Each structure stands twice: as C-alpha cells, then as structure tokens.
Structure 1
C-alpha cells in the first residue's frame, strides 16, 4: 500500500515537473532559439543541467519553507499527492485562460488550504511570503521602467546582437592538432554577444530550478516519503522531459510575452526576472519567474513609451501636449542622435506595435490572485471533507 502510494506520488511529481519544464524552458531559452543562436535540443539539455544546479543549491531553501514553514504539521504522502494534484489543476487553469499563473503561488495556496483545514497554518510565514509576492512584481516593473526610460534607447543603438550565416566555431584541421577557430562569417563581436545570450539563458535556467524544482519536490519531502536529494532528481528529470518535448513549440514562438520585443529587450527582462527570483529563493521565498518577467516586460515597455513626456506627466497622466506611444520595444533605435526625454520620438518608433497594454496587465494580475485563491479554497474544501487523508 505504501509502495503504491509512493509510486503515485512520484507520478504526480513528474506530471507537475513535466508541465513546469514545458513553460520554463520556453521562457529561459525562447529568445536564443528564436534568434537562431542555439538549437532546441541543446537548449533543453543545458536547461536540465542548470535546473538541477538551481534546485540542488538554492532550491533547498524553498523546499524547507514549503515543507515545514507554511504549516506546523508534516504533509503526509497522501496529502502530498493531493497537493500535487491541485498544483497540476492550477497549471491546467493557466493553460485554459492562456495566462501564466505562477506555479509557486498555486503550491503555497494548496498547502495553505491544508493548513486551514487542519488548523495548522503558520499565518506569520504566509504573510511574510505574500509581502514578497507584492514586492517582486513592483520591483520588476520599476527596474524595467527605469531601464526602458533612461538606458534602453541608448543601449539599443550601441549593442547589436549579430547572427551570421554558418557555424559560429569550426575546427581547423591544418595543424597536427585540430583547434577551434571562428566560422567563415563569424566576428568576435558575434561571439561575445552570443556568449551573453547563452550565459543569460543559463542564469534564467538556474533561477527556474531554484524556484520551480521545490514545487514538484516539497510535497513528497515534508512527510518523509523522500529525502530532498531524490525528490530534486525526480523533479529535475520531469522538468527536463518537458523541456525536450512540449517546450519545443514554446521555444519556437519565443514565448507569448517575449515574441514581440527585440532580443536585447528580452535579455534585459530575463536578467531582471532571474535576479529577483534567485535572490528571493535564496531566502526561502516560494516565488515564480512569471511574476517578475511579466512586470519587467510591462515596465520596460512603459518606460520606453513614456520617453516623449516628462516624468511628472508620465506619473500623473498629464499627456495633452505629447502622446504616449506604448511599446516601442519592437524596433531598434539606430538614429545618430537620441531625442532627450520629453521630446518627440522618430516617426518609425512612434508607429511601433503596442506593447504596454493595461488590459493585459489587469488580466495577468487578476489571474495571479484568482489562481492561488482557487487553489487554497479547493484544497481547504477537499481536506475538510476528507480529513483522514492528512
């Protein structure tokens, strides 16, 4: 009976990890794959390694919070399976509505539902976690807005990520020992920019492992069904499997949120989101890349769009003299002279497709509230009706 429950728990963990891998791999490596800098299979392989590294190191702090900090009792194996089911349900909800609900928030919600049903919820820890959930998207927005308004236009003019035809590196076999040399059309600038893209993807993958491996591993660790090491390995395997299979389409589209912006803007978003997520994971906060990523995109677009007006006009909404043109991240700033803040932008920049969409932001934030809330309510009702499972 116990062996059968353990198999069911591992299967549930693999299901959750598989779906996490499908979305996280696309976010981490979509820009690089979309730009033709790396193949999908290579991206999935690198993703798996750095997810394991993130989960094995920083992710252990998040596992401790999920398995011991949110409720004051151990999560039994049967309860852990139920929690993994609710996590999977949250992912399904996200897919149905086309909105990336942060998996970590859904996980905390399901565990909190168990705590409410068993009168074992650690309210202090939950409030501590929620306060960081509020901080993360706000920080992502304002970092993106500051870069978009004051740094991005000049950076875009000076940094061009190149991708020439043919291989980046080839082997020179003229000597006694083959040695790697630049490809026929490769420049050192291309090598440097490609390296930046690859390193950024690795950083994003590490951050994804630190924040997402615990979601699939913690419910099996709390009750002692598995120790942290094997649970991390199983979760990593599942995330890697998702990366090699269902993530291929996500990487092709370069992610629904990153596909409409330049590779440079995508890299800024990735570095911002990965830094916030890794830092919070280090202190044990269950957090998701989605929150910081989406709001960094919004902030970057808003900051870039409000350059034609002053900071005061942007903040208080006084835009009668100059029109705010959202989303000028879809074009490169190649003009010799960059207009100062408060001055009109070049015509082709003003006609760029819209990126900053307030309605989309409202939809995302609403689902961030609805997703975990539903997870909490459903878990609470389930564990209240089936008390023996705890």
Structure 2
C-alpha cells in the first residue's frame, strides 16, 4: 500500500515539476531566446542545470519550511500526495486563466489548509510568510521604479545589446592547438554583452530552482515512508527539465505579455531584480513566487521611466500638470544609444509615440491570481482533510 502511494506521489510530483518547467523556463530564457542570443534547446539545458543547483542548495531551506514549519506535525506521505494534487489543481486553474502559476503560494495554501483542518497550523510562521507576500510586490515595484527612473536611461545610452550575423565564436583549427576565436562579425562589446545575458539567465534559473524545486519535492519527503531529500530534489529537477525541453518551447516564444514587450536590456534589469529578491527570501526559507517579483518589477520600471518628466512627489500624488506621461516610455524605438531628457523636462517624440508597456487589466488579473490561487488551495485542502482526517 505504501509503495503504491509513493508511486502515485512521484507521478504527481513529476506532473507538478513538468508544469513548473514549462512556466519558469519561459520566464528565465524568453528574452534571450527572443533576441536570438541563445537557442531553445541550449536554454532548456542551462535551465535544467541551474535549477538543480538552486534546488540542491538554497532550495533546501524552503523545503524545510514547507515540510516541517508551516504545521506543527510531520507532513506524512499520504498528506503530501494530497497536497501535490491540490498544487496540480492550482496549476490547472492558472493555466485556464492564462497567467503564470503562483506555485509557491499554492503549495503554502494547501499545507496551511491541512494545518487548519487538523489544528496544527503554525500561525507565527504562516503570518511571516504572508507578510512577505505583501511586502515583496512593493519591494519589486520600488526597486523597478528607481531603475526605470534613474538607472535604465543612462545604461541604455551607453550599452546596446545586438546580435551580429554569424556565430559568436568559432574554432581556429589552423593553430597548433585548436582554440576559440571571434566569429566573422563578433566584437568585444557583443561578446561581453552576450556573456552577461547568459549569466543573468543562469542566475534566474538558479533562483527558479531555489523557489520552485521545493514545491514539487517537499510533499514527498515527509514521514518514514517518504523519499530522501536528495532523491526528491533530483526527481523534481528532471521533471522541470523535461518541461523546459517540451512545453516551454512555446512559452519562450510568447513569454508574453510582459518581458517580450520591453527591450532586452530592460528585461535583464527585471531578471536580476526578481532573481535577487527570490533568492534572498528563499535563503531565509520563505516560499515566494518568482513570477510575483518579476511582474511587479516590470510595472515599477515602466512607472519609473514614464514619470521622468515630473518630480517624485508629483508622480506619487499623480499631479502631472502639463507633462505627458507615457506608460510605454521604456519601449520607445530609436532611443538606444541616445540620452534621455533630464528629469523634469518633456520627452522626445520617440517616447511620446510609444505605446503601453502593460495592460492594467492583465496586472489586475495577475494580482488576483496571487490571492485566489492560495485561497482556493487552502479551502480545498481544509475541506479534504476535515472530511478525511485520517489521511493527515
């Protein structure tokens, strides 16, 4: 009986990891793939390696929180399998609504539902987690706002990331020992900028592993009949990798609405900011959604860049006077390599002709799912474990 339950749990874990891979790979590697810097297969391979490193190192802290701190009793294998089922439902619901999956939040909600049903919920721990769910979007927004208002325009004037025709590097076979050399059109600037893009993509993959591997692995490590931590992490990584090589191919093309609508340079700022927030919180064992940090950093960068024609106090009070605020200022074509107008002055025509960076309705939908997803998983888990307390 235990062996059959474990097999079901492994299948459920693989399903969850597979879907995580499809979603997270697109977020981490969509911009570089869209810019032609890296191929999808290479991106999926790098994603798998660095997801494993993130899950194997920092992710263990999140696993400890999920499997041993949210509730005051040990998470049993049977309860873990049920929780994986509710995570799967959360993924399905998010896919139906067409938004990235808030997997970490859904997982916490399911475990909290178990705790509420059995009277074993660790209220101080869950309160701390939820407080970070509230604070994290604010942090992402304001860091993005500072970047968009003060940093991005200056960097955009000095740095241009372009992919030249032909391979980046070739192998010089005429030398005594074959060695890599520049491609026919490669420059030092292109090599350095491309390397930076790849490093940042790997960093985001590491962050995704730290926050998401525990969601597929932690429910299987509870109890004497569960899997060892290392085995669960490896299985979750394999599933995420398979998702990256398969269903993520489409999400890398359409990562859509947000990251692919802004220049690659701006996307890199988003990736570094969101990855750092997620990795730091994961280090402290806080289950957090990488998508949450990513979306709010995008919104913040857009807001910061758009409000350069007015002072900070006027922007906060929404008192723009005669200044024209362009929500899509950061997407303006033809501004690469050009100096932006000084803060407080009118924008050039290239910016005034830009469109919207994001659809406010889409942002509301994302935020709604961050609330609805964990709430649904909590209620479903609570009802399930109230009806079948023996499963816990």
TM-score scaled to structure 2, two decimals?
0.97
Q: Establish whether residue 191 from structure 1 lines up as the match of residue 191 from structure 2.
A: yes
- Give the Cα separation in 1 of the matches to 2:186 and 2:320: 46
CA gap of 1:299–1:3, structure 2 versus 1, over 3 A, is: same
Structure 2 SS opposite 1:16? helix
| Moved segments of 4+, more than 6 Å | none
CA gap of 1:125–1:199, structure 2 versus 1, over 3 A, is: same
Q: Establish whether residue 161 from structure 1 lines up as the match of residue 165 from structure 2.
A: no
Counterpart for residue 351 of structure 2: 349
For the Cα contact (< 8 Å) 1:104–1:287, is it kept in 2? Answer: yes
Counterpart for residue 9 of structure 2: 9
Matches within 5 A, 1:257-336: 257-331=258-332, 332-334=334-336, 336=338
Structure 2 SS opposite 1:175? coil
- Give the Cα separation in 2 of the matches to 1:186 and 1:316: 48
Counterpart for residue 241 of structure 2: 240
Structure 2 SS opposite 1:171? strand
Shift of 1:358: 3.3
Counterpart for residue 383 of structure 1: 385
Counterpart for residue 79 of structure 1: 79
TM-score scaled to structure 1, two decimals?
0.98
Matches within 5 A, 1:104-119: 104-119=104-119
Matches within 5 A, 1:167-182: 167-182=167-182
Shift of 1:356: 4.4
- Give the Cα separation in 2 of the matches to 1:194 and 1:9: 41
Shift of 1:340: 1.2
- Give the Cα separation in 2 of the matches to 1:336 and 1:61: 45
Structure 1 SS opposite 2:259? coil
For the Cα contact (< 8 Å) 2:90–2:103, is it kept in 1? Answer: yes
- Give the Cα separation in 2 of the matches to 1:340 and 1:369: 39
- Give the Cα separation in 1 of the matches to 2:157 and 2:335: 5
- Give the Cα separation in 2 of the matches to 1:256 and 1:92: 20
For the Cα contact (< 8 Å) 2:153–2:339, is it kept in 1? Answer: no
Count of aligned positions: 390
- Give the Cα separation in 1 of the matches to 2:254 and 2:338: 32
For the Cα contact (< 8 Å) 2:200–2:272, is it kept in 1? Answer: yes
Structure 1 SS opposite 2:44? helix
Shift of 1:357: 3.8
Structure 2 SS opposite 1:329? helix
Deviates more, 1:118-127 or 1:97-106: 97-106
Matches within 5 A, 1:200-279: 200-224=200-224, 225-279=226-280
- Give the Cα separation in 2 of the matches to 1:368 and 1:378: 16
Counterpart for residue 374 of structure 1: 376
Deviations 1:99-144 (CA, angstroms, capped at 9, x unpaired): 2241100000000000000000000000011111112111110000
Deviates more, 1:171-180 or 1:14-23: 171-180
Counterpart for residue 99 of structure 2: 99
For the Cα contact (< 8 Å) 2:149–2:304, is it kept in 1? Answer: yes
- Give the Cα separation in 2 of the matches to 1:11 and 1:356: 37
- Give the Cα separation in 1 of the matches to 2:208 and 2:313: 37
